[in-house]
Amino acid sequence: MPRPGFVLDVDKSTPPILFHHGEGFRLEKLPADRTRVIYPGEPLDALDDVDAEIQRALLDPLDMDPLPTLLTPGMKLTIAFDDVSLPLPPMKRPDIRQRVIEAVLDMAATAGVDDVHLIAALALHRRMTEDELRHAVGDRVYDAFAPQGALYNHDAEDPDNLAFLGETKHGEEVEINKRAAESDLLIYVNINIVSMDGGHKSTATGLASYRSIKHHHNVHTMEHSKSFMDRHNSELHHSNWRMGKVIADAGVKVFQIETTINNDTFGDALPMSVLAKREWEWSGKDRVAFVGMQQGLKRLPASTKRKIFQGHRAPYGVTSVSAGAIEPVHEKTLQHCFDQHLVEVEGQTDILTMGLPYICPYNVNSIMNPILVMCLGLGYFFNMYRGKPLVREGGVLIMTHPTPWEFHPVHHPSYIDFFEQVLADTTDPKEIEQKWEKQFAEDEWYRHLYRTSYAYHGVHPFYMWYWGSHALKHLGRVIIVGGDKRAVHRLGFKAASTLNDAFEMAEDVVGRHPTITHLKNPPIVMADVK
Amino acid sequence: MKALRFSRKPGRYVAAGVAGRLAAGKGASVGPLKLVDVDDLKLPADDWVRLRPRLAGICGSDLATIDGHSSRYFEPIVSFPFTPGHEVVGDLEDGSRAVLIPILSCVTRGIDPMCGACSAGRTNRCGRIAFGHLEPGLQTGFCADTGGGWSGELVAHPSQLLPVPEDLSDEAAVMVEPLACAVHAARKVAASGPHQRIAVIGSGTLGLLTIAALRSEDPFGTIIATGKYPHQQGLAKALGADQVVSPRTLPRVVRSLTGAFVLDGGQLTDGVEVVVDCVGSEASLTQALQVVAPGGQIVVVGMPGHTALDLTSLWHRESTISGCYAYTRSDFERALELAQEHDLGRLVSATYPLSRSTEAIEHAANAGARGAVKIAFDLRKPAKAKR
């Protein structure tokens, strides 16, 4: 029986706690009697027979007819699937998307459907490479569809392949992939790694254009999403739900297939397995493996470390497959997510600490640049709450990460300019949005790179910054431990050499003897703050 | 009278070149520049007057000469020995102050009729700079007969003098000469405008002043400036640049601002309409060619020397490079106004007596790295220094 997540009160006997630190780790002794550590739950039991569960979900969907009855000869069928940003780290083969898509295609073939397109729903993310597509859908599917041009990446800037479906009652324009919009049936295959994912957001964002996405990917929406991991209190999701209604009213029929995975991020094999263990339970062998890993990493150049970590594939177990109408499917999915991730926490803290790992949704097979560090910390990790933020208003966030002044030139060209020009001008999200967004979003060169190379859309770094806008407004100070000082300064944060230095710096803001909470993530944990 | 005098001593000039290559400003300690006692200068003609420098700035062209890397182009248009110093505010014999307009034009040389350029008021393009009753010299500060600002006294023709208003500090007044260069450049740019985007390469004295002058000539265009050091970046912004970036990032910024595409090898398909190069080095000119738009113009304000450039893009993109030398009297008059408006005395970072010329020149040669802008010699008597 897996143990649920829990809150540890640190005392003098608590061993040093493991902090992720990019492609490395830190062991930090935390102050006794005023610190707590929120541990993730152990991996929930995986489904014994995933393929059987997929069949069950497709044949007995929620609030829709069984999939085979929706498939008819001569119909136009589109299967959209989540892109390379999910899951993190990538999943060991076979990816759950592959298993679901293969099952759907078998049913389509049986029904005589031959007009099938598969689309990577990447919104404004970079295009997936052939290797990444093969990993997601499997070689059999890739070889059957890609050479015919029936398996491809969504293009949010292709004027010939976008369909305007109308506006929400709030005036939000809804424009999505034309092939998807004009299909007799759109099947969306997702991986709901966190509660932000899925639901109407899958289609309304994943297959949308910039014209449409900008209505919810903005500072106002993000400041009013508390948090964006809690869809019922998230303006981001409210907007996507409104758009979902416009999509449905336009006659787009969506058969949603959502899957959840457990917390088995690091597997059973040393040395990675030690990362999922609670420190006081480390065996002698674990300690030796960890020290060996640390020593080895210290000797390696950054590029080699990056290659090693980016090569890690997680042995996640699949915990649920749900199919049918979007809303009932998603409610069920959310429950599975929360079962794995939620930990009840009593009250807020003065200082929130977090160790940022080497990966976030936007640097798979890439470099975690400083903007992504900000986004992972102040966007994703800060928002891993339900109820209220883990840290009190005016409190301090301390993150550990090397934060190198380094960018992937192919994946993140507009990030470089954002960092060099925009953040040199201001770090205020509203000012950035008002003064700079249009120029980057409409830059023909970025558009060209997004469409033909493997670059994130020109506007993407802005969204990363907006993702952290709720945290920026809420926090009194942000400190990065062990980061490149120039890069940290450019982000508008303070740099500290050690965690103790950071605690001292934080006392200027929150006073002496502050309470501290460490969010020990990954594996994924989400706080249900009472 | 004490004067810093630059003599024709080839051996020392070569030594200065070697020292100057090793470390900027080191040419002063081994080269032909020496502090010497000199006799009072003869007035070249009856209408000439004596000017006693109060402050005399150290300019990039002075430094190039002292460090032995000036172009040989100048050889026939200077005369030895000369006393450098052409950025000068000084006292006239009647006690009033004046700034020096150092161009030695036809009228100063007693040439009648004047050349076409001088007749048209374009004295900076004078065609008789090595003729007339003066020894050769493109400006005061490079002519054996006139002396220069790095001394107790120089001689000047009345056409070379501009009265300094009572309320203008010496520090602001000594900035008028380089500011007049900047005004000249800004007027040249404005005459071909209006322009949407202008890049200014370099935020040394000339770059900063050019930004101020451009802003006053063209209040609406976007000015992007490069600044290597934080103080330069701050001043560039304060004087009117909309965006100040490190020299390394200029091509990226221009690409981003113009929405240009990038070809293999980093060439941009578009750029800014005007680049004002206030450095004049091979690197800055190469960058100017990289960021200028097809059909755009590069205005070279900083003094260049021997330079190797790939001009293929100039040909292919029909861009132009034009020089921008010095000023006219009208530019000077405008500069006097701007010096007051912008409180440019603040750009004088340090002053030295002539006796500490080696330190002064080293400081000037490394001004950016040392957080400074303009270094000048202070020739005022202590009691008058606060004026």
ipTM given for this complex: 0.78
Measured distance CA(B11)–CA(B30) in Å, rounded: 10
Strands A151-153 and B33-37, by their bridges, are: unpaired
Q: Do B256 and A417 touch (CB under 8 A)?
A: yes
Nearest CA in chain B to A439: B257
CA distance A237 to chain B (A): 32
Domains of chain A: which residue ranges? 6-42+341-529, 50-261
Measured distance CA(B65)–CA(B150) in Å, rounded: 14
Which residues in chain B touch residue A421, judged by CB atoms under 8 angstroms apart?
Answer: 243, 245, 249, 252-253, 256
Q: Do B245 and A424 touch (CB under 8 A)?
A: yes
Q: Do B255 and A445 touch (CB under 8 A)?
A: yes
Identify the CA nearest to A520 among candidates A95, A16, A134. Answer: A16
Quote the pLDDT of residue B132.
Answer: 94
CA distance B304 to chain A (A): 29
Identify the CA nearest to B55 among candidates B348, B269, B343, B298. Answer: B348
Q: Tell me, yes or no, if B234 comes closer than 8 A to chain A by beta carbon.
A: no
Q: Do A425 and B262 touch (CB under 8 A)?
A: no
Quote the pLDDT of residue B23.
Answer: 84
Nearest CA in chain B to A426: B243
CATH of A6-42+341-529, one of 3.20.20.140, 3.40.50.970, 3.90.226.30, 3.30.70.520: 3.90.226.30
Q: In which residue are the tokens 């960890």 written?
A: A290
B187 shares its domain with B214: yes
Which residues in chain B touch residue A442, judged by CB atoms under 8 angstroms apart?
Answer: 259
Quote the pLDDT of residue B382.
Answer: 60
Q: Tell me, yes or no, if B243 comes closer than 8 A to chain A by beta carbon.
A: yes
Q: Tell me, yes or no, if B266 comes closer than 8 A to chain A by beta carbon.
A: no
Which residues in chain A touch residue B257, judged by CB atoms under 8 angstroms apart?
Answer: 439
Q: Is residue B130 part of a domain?
A: yes
Measured distance CA(A504)–CA(A220) in Å, rounded: 33
Q: Over range A15-20, report the average pLDDT.
A: 97
Which residues in chain B touch residue A440, judged by CB atoms under 8 angstroms apart?
Answer: 256
Question: What is the CB-side half-sphere exposure of residue A516 using CA atoms within 13 A?
Answer: 25
Q: Amino acid letter at B86?
A: H
> How many folded domains does chain B comprise?
2
Measured distance CA(A206)–CA(A204) in Å, rounded: 6
- Render pLDDT for A380-395 as a digit per residue (tens, 0 to 9): 999 999 999 999 999 9
Share of residues in chain B with pLDDT > 90 (%):
85
Helix axes A130-137, A96-111, angle to 10 degrees: 70
pLDDT for B384 beyond 50: no
Q: Do A416 and B252 touch (CB under 8 A)?
A: yes
Q: Tokens standing for B27? A: 């040419």
Q: Over range A476-500, report the average pLDDT.
A: 98
Q: What is the CATH number of the domain that holds B22?
A: 3.90.180.10
The torsion region of residue B315 among left (phi > 0), alpha (psi -120 to 50) and beta comes to: alpha
Widest CA span in chain A: 71
Q: Do A440 and B257 touch (CB under 8 A)?
A: no
Q: In which residue are the tokens 């990032």 written?
A: B249
CA distance B253 to chain A (A): 7
CA distance B246 to chain A (A): 9
- Render pLDDT for B31-42 as a digit per residue (tens, 0 to 9): 889 999 999 999
Pair A119, A152: CB distance under 8 Å = yes
- Render pLDDT for A160-205 as a digit per residue (tens, 0 to 9): 999 999 999 999 999 999 999 999 999 999 999 999 999 999 999 9
User: Cβ contacts of residue B381 below 8 Å, gap of 6+?
Assistant: none
Q: Is residue B20 part of a domain?
A: yes
CA distance B243 to chain A (A): 8
Q: Tokens standing for A93? A: 């083969």
Of A421, A440, A445, the CB nearest to B261: A445
In 3-state terms, what secondary structure has residue A467?
helix
pLDDT for A269 beyond 50: yes
Q: What pTM value is reported for the model?
A: 0.87
B9 shares its domain with B153: yes
Q: Is residue B290 part of a domain?
A: yes
Of A420, A440, A444, the CB nearest to B252: A420
Alpha helices in chain B, H assignment, sequence order = 10-22, 27-30, 60-66, 106-109, 116-119, 170-174, 176-191, 205-217, 230-238, 250-258, 282-291, 312-316, 329-341, 357-365
Q: Tokens standing for A167? A: 């506006």
Pair A460, A213: CB distance under 8 Å = no
CA distance A168 to chain B (A): 32
B147 shares its domain with B237: no
- Render pLDDT for A273-295 as a digit per residue (tens, 0 to 9): 999 999 999 999 999 999 999 99
Residue A328: in which H helix or E strand, if any? helix A326-341
Q: In which residue are the tokens 């005022």 written?
A: B380
Measured distance CA(A492)–CA(A511) in Å, rounded: 21
Identify the CA nearest to A198 among candidates A209, A210, A206, A208. Answer: A206
- Render pLDDT for B48-107 as a digit per residue (tens, 0 to 9): 999 999 999 999 999 999 998 888 899 999 999 999 999 999 999 999 999 999 999 999
Nearest CA in chain B to A436: B257
Determine the residue among B222, B256, B268 to mutate to test chain A binding: the one whose Cβ has the most chain A Cβ atoms within 10 Å.
Answer: B256
Q: Over range A343-370, report the average pLDDT.
A: 98
Buried-exposed string B224-249: b where 16+ CB fall within 10 A, e elsewhere: bbbbbbebbbebbbebbbbbbbebeb
Q: Do B261 and A443 touch (CB under 8 A)?
A: no
CA distance B311 to chain A (A): 25
Q: Tell me, yes or no, if B262 comes closer than 8 A to chain A by beta carbon.
A: yes
Contacts across the A-B interface (CB distance below 8 Å): 31
Give me chain B's average pLDDT, please: 93
Cβ-based burial of A92 (10 A; exposed 0-12, middle 13-18, buried ≥19): middle
Measured distance CA(A414)–CA(A454) in Å, rounded: 12
- Render pLDDT for A212-239 as a digit per residue (tens, 0 to 9): 999 999 999 999 999 999 999 999 999 9
Pair A521, A384: CB distance under 8 Å = yes
Measured distance CA(A218)–CA(A101) in Å, rounded: 33
A 394-423 → B contacts, CB under 8 A: 416-417, 420-421
Q: Over range A360-367, report the average pLDDT.
A: 97
Q: Tell me, yes or no, if A438 comes closer than 8 A to chain B by beta carbon.
A: no
B8 shares its domain with B139: yes
Q: Over range B212-223, report the average pLDDT.
A: 90
pLDDT for A512 beyond 60: yes
Quote the pLDDT of residue B170.
Answer: 97
Measured distance CA(B293)–CA(A522) in Å, rounded: 49
Give the distance from CA B42 to its chain's centroid.
27
CB atoms within 10 A of CB A155: 18
B234 shares its domain with B272: yes
pLDDT for A60 beyond 60: yes
Quote the pLDDT of residue B9.
Answer: 79
Identify the CA nearest to B44 among candidates B199, B164, B160. Answer: B160
Residue A27: in which H helix or E strand, if any? strand A25-28
- Render pLDDT for B186-197 as a digit per residue (tens, 0 to 9): 999 999 988 999
Q: Do A416 and B243 touch (CB under 8 A)?
A: no
Measured distance CA(A3)–CA(A430) in Å, rounded: 43
Which residues in chain B touch residue A444, judged by CB atoms under 8 angstroms apart?
Answer: 259, 261
In 3-state terms, what secondary structure has residue A455?
coil
CA distance A445 to chain B (A): 5
Pair B354, B379: CB distance under 8 Å = yes
Measured distance CA(B314)–CA(B33) in Å, rounded: 39
Measured distance CA(A245)–CA(A236) in Å, rounded: 15
Q: Do B259 and A440 touch (CB under 8 A)?
A: no
Nearest CA in chain A to B270: A445
B145 shares its domain with B279: no
Q: Do A439 and B243 touch (CB under 8 A)?
A: no
Q: In which residue are the tokens 């295009």 written?
A: A127
Share of residues in chain A with pLDDT > 70 (%):
100
Measured distance CA(A162)–CA(A181) in Å, rounded: 8
Of A417, A442, A444, the CB nearest to B252: A417
B272 shares its domain with B375: no
Determine the residue among A418, A437, A444 to mutate to test chain B binding: the one whose Cβ has the most chain B Cβ atoms within 10 Å.
Answer: A444
In 3-state terms, what secondary structure has residue B89?
strand
Pair A488, A419: CB distance under 8 Å = no
Q: Do B261 and A439 touch (CB under 8 A)?
A: no
Q: Which structural domain range is residue B301 located in? A: 177-323
Widest CA span in chain B: 65
Local structure of residue A348 (DSSP, 8 states): -
State the Cα angle at B173 between B171 and B177, rounded to 5°.
Answer: 115
Quote the pLDDT of residue B30.
Answer: 79
- Render pLDDT for A298-311 as a digit per residue (tens, 0 to 9): 999 999 999 999 99
Sorting pLDDT into bands at 50, 70 and 90, what band is A117?
very high
Q: Does the A50-261 domain belong in CATH 3.40.50.11710?
A: no
CA distance B261 to chain A (A): 5
Share of residues in chain A with pLDDT > 90 (%):
99
CB atoms within 10 A of CB A288: 14
Quote the pLDDT of residue B27.
Answer: 80
CA distance B290 to chain A (A): 17
Residue B201: in which H helix or E strand, if any? strand B197-201
Q: Tokens standing for A70? A: 């929706």
Q: Is residue B331 part of a domain?
A: no
When mean pLDDT is compared across A427-431, A450-454, A516-520, B265-269, the lowest value belongs to B265-269
Q: Do B262 and A445 touch (CB under 8 A)?
A: yes
Provide the β-strand partners of residue B262: B268
Share of residues in chain B with pLDDT > 70 (%):
98
- Render pLDDT for B343-375 as a digit per residue (tens, 0 to 9): 999 999 999 999 999 999 999 999 999 999 999
Identify the CA nearest to B27 among candidates B36, B35, B18. Answer: B18
Which residues in chain A touch residue B255, judged by CB atoms under 8 angstroms apart?
Answer: 417, 445
* Cα-based distances in Å from A325 to A62, A228, A322, A328, A493: 6, 22, 10, 6, 44
B181 shares its domain with B154: no
pLDDT: which is higher, A392 or B10: A392
Determine the residue among A407, A414, A416, A417 to mutate to test chain B binding: the one whose Cβ has the most chain B Cβ atoms within 10 Å.
Answer: A417
Local structure of residue B368 (DSSP, 8 states): T
CA distance A464 to chain B (A): 19
Give the distance from CA B269 to its chain's centroid.
32
pLDDT: which is higher, A357 or B383: A357
Quote the pLDDT of residue B387.
Answer: 44
Q: Amino acid letter at B207?
A: G
Nearest CA in chain A to B247: A420
Q: What is the CATH number of the domain that holds B200?
A: 3.40.50.720
pLDDT for B124 beyond 80: yes
State the Cα angle at A60 between A56 and A65, rounded to 5°.
Answer: 140
Strand positions, DSSP E, A145-250: 151-153, 162-167, 173-177, 185-189
Q: In which residue are the tokens 């049986």 written?
A: A110
Q: Do B259 and A421 touch (CB under 8 A)?
A: no
Which residues in chain B touch residue A448, judged by CB atoms under 8 angstroms apart?
Answer: 261
Local structure of residue A376 (DSSP, 8 states): I
Pair B325, B348: CB distance under 8 Å = no
Pair B136, B125: CB distance under 8 Å = no
Determine the residue among A410, A416, A445, A446 to mutate to test chain B binding: the one whose Cβ has the most chain B Cβ atoms within 10 Å.
Answer: A445
Dihedrals phi, psi of A480, to nearest 5 degrees: -110, 125
Q: Tokens standing for A412? A: 């993140």
